[in-house]
């Protein structure tokens, strides 16, 4: 697919400086792009490449003042990074629309209902009473259990497993290896030291415009639903336990684990390798640094947290500063102990418990 600078500017509401008829067919990083590719420059650290890149078209910010002339076509926009992301999304959508039809061998139950213009890859499986909306793409090797509902314009990449009764919304992207609806970790301890499995009878609901990274797992609820709400973005290797609720537009980085029945608010940002205890709540707008351990409910909105156990950000930084000073403090304490012993030996201070008189 080829696009001219004029067409691209129209898609991202930009202004062309240079040859508006020049065309590109792919994308490249500004320091590596070649003729026929489009790139962008949003970070000032890369400005030097703006004057040496071989890219045919470059997207830059409106506010950028050029140090010298550039023999390239430029498209100026308000936010170059966001505009480039929008353009790549549109390109991906156009490429995906070319995928249509049902490949063989694959299995689709006679009771399944498929929308228009879907793609269903080889070795994929759709069980009883499955529904798949218009323009959705099911890549090879996907397993879709009985009574699963999948919305429109959703992309499910190779090797995804979606267990019975789960619900996936519109414009969802699920990357390879994701497991949705596996049993929650529910076991009742017995008097003899063994554990009895607690049946997990609920499901998982993934709302619209969610993206789930590769090899992430989302457990079904014991009863009711584990819910991932609209606009949530999950990185690779995230673990969401049974009956968790993640509210709208929250982002969670890789290797984070959320224990059962916890509730994460709206617009929360959670760094990688964070652990969140079960049965707690995290307020809207919270920011949790990577490798933190959240063990108690966070009630105040729009606060930052760090550490294990997690404290508010300023307190955690003070604790870290004092921790770094511990060796020096230990040295001072030992020096004081020696001084006390010396003064005691010289009888300049009374021994412990000795009465004094003035």
Which tens digit of pLDDT belongs to each residue from 81-105? 999 999 988 887 777 777 889 999 9
Q: Is residue 74 domain-shared with residue 124, that is, in the same domain? A: no
Q: Is 171 tagged catalytic?
A: no
pLDDT, mean of residues 226-239: 98
**Judgement on whether residues 83 and 160 belong to the same structural domain of the protein:** no
Residues in contact with 345: Cβ distance below 8 Å, sequence separation at least 6, in sequence order? none
Cβ neighbours of residue 183 closer than 8 Å, sequence gap 6 or more = 200, 219, 220, 242
pLDDT at 349: 57
**Whole-number Å distance between alpha carbons of 44 and 50:** 10
Specify if 329 maps to a domain: no
Residue 342 maps to a domain = no
Strand, helix or coil at 287? strand
- Asked whether residue 350 is assigned to any structural domain, the reply reads no
Answer yes or no: is 352 within a domain: no
**Res. 195: pLDDT tops 80:** yes
* Averaged pLDDT for residues 196-207: 97
Structure tokens at 41: 């420059």
Reported confidence tier of residue 310, pLDDT bands at 50, 70, 90: confident
> What CATH number does the domain containing 130 carry?
2.160.10.10
Same-domain check for residues 198 and 242: yes
Contact residues for 46 (Cβ-Cβ < 8 A; gap 6+): 30, 31
Residue range 54-61: average pLDDT? 95
Structure tokens at 37: 């590719």
- For residue 174, being part of any structural domain is answered with yes
How far apart, in Å, are the Cα atoms of 325 and each of 162, 249, 310, 331?
Answer: 51, 40, 20, 10
Consecutive H or E run containing 246: strand 245-246
Q: What is the CATH number of the domain that holds 78?
A: 3.40.1390.10
Tokens representing residue 109 in the block: 């139950």
Structure confidence by residue, pLDDT tens digits, 111-137: 999 999 999 999 999 999 999 999 999
Q: Are 155 and 249 contained in the same domain?
A: yes
Kindly tell me if the per-residue pLDDT of 354 is higher than 70.
Answer: no
Tokens of 193: 């030291």
Distance CA 183, CA 245 (A): 16
Are the CB atoms for 224 and 201 separated by under 8 Å?
no
Q: Do residues 118 and 246 share a domain?
A: yes
Domain extent, residue 82, equals 3-97
- Same domain? For 113 and 225 the reply is yes
DSSP-assigned states of every residue in 292-323: -EE-S-B-STT-EEETTTTEEHHHHHHHHHHH
Can you name the residues that pair with 166 across neighbouring β-strands?
none
- The per-residue pLDDT for 357 is 55
pLDDT (0 to 100) of residue 76: 96
DSSP state of 183: P
Q: Identify whether 107 is part of a domain.
A: yes
Which residue, of 32, 63, 97, is where some domain finishes? 97
pLDDT at position 326 is 83
Q: Let me know whether 159 and 303 are in one domain.
A: yes
Q: What is the mean pLDDT of the segment spanning 272-291?
A: 96
Whether the model clears a pTM of 0.75, i.e. scores above it, the answer is: yes
Of the chain, the percentage scoring pLDDT greater than 70 comes to 96
Q: How many angstroms separate the CA atoms of 55 and 53, rounded? A: 6
Euclidean distance between CA atoms 340 and 192, whole angstroms? 57
* pLDDT value at residue 348: 58
Whether residue 78 is contained in a domain is answered as yes
Q: Is 334 contained in some domain?
A: no
pLDDT of residue 327: 86
8 Å CB contact between 184 and 146: no
How many Cα atoms within 13 Å fall on the side-chain side of residue 174? 33
> Would you give the DSSP letter of residue 220?
P
Q: Which of 157, 175, 242, 279 is catalytic?
A: 242
Same domain, 85 and 218: no
Number of domains in the chain: 2
Tell me: do 127 and 258 sit in the same domain: yes
């Amino acid at each position: 697919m080829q696009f001219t600078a004029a067409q691209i500017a129209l898609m991202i509401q930009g202004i062309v400086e240079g040859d508006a008829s020049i065309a590109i067919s792919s994308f490249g990083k500004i320091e590596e792009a070649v003729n026929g590719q489009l790139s962008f420059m949003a970070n000032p650290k890369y400005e030097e490449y703006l004057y040496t890149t071989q890219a045919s078209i470059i997207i830059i910010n409106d506010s950028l003042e050029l140090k010298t002339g550039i023999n390239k076509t430029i498209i100026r926009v308000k936010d170059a990074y966001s505009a480039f992301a929008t353009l790549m999304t549109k390109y991906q959508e156009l490429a995906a629309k070319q995928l249509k039809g049902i490949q063989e061998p694959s299995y689709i139950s006679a009771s399944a209902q498929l929308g228009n213009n879907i793609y269903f890859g080889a070795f994929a499986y759709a069980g009883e009473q499955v529904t798949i909306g218009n323009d959705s793409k099911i890549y090879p090797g996907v397993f879709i259990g009985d009574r699963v509902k999948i919305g429109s314009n959703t992309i499910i990449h190779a090797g995804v497993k979606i267990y019975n009764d789960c619900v996936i919304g519109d414009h969802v992207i699920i990357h390879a290896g994701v497991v949705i609806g596996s049993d929650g970790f529910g076991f009742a301890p017995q008097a003899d030291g063994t554990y009895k499995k607690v049946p997990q009878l609920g499901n998982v609901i993934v709302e619209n415009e969610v993206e789930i990274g590769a090899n992430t797992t989302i457990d079904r609820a014991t009863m009711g639903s584990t819910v991932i709400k609209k606009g949530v973005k999950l990185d690779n290797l995230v673990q969401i336990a049974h009956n968790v609720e993640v509210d709208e537009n929250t982002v969670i980085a890789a290797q984070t684990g959320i224990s059962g029945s916890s509730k994460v608010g709206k617009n929360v940002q959670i760094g990688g390798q964070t652990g969140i205890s079960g049965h707690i709540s995290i307020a809207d707008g919270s920011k949790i640094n990577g490798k933190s351990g959240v063990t108690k409910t966070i009630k105040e909105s729009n606060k930052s947290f760090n550490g294990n156990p997690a404290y508010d950000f300023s307190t955690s930084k003070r604790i870290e500063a004092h921790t770094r000073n511990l060796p020096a403090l230990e040295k001072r304490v030992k020096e004081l102990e020696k001084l006390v012993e010396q003064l005691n030996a010289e009888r300049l201070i009374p021994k412990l418990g000795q009465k004094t008189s003035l």
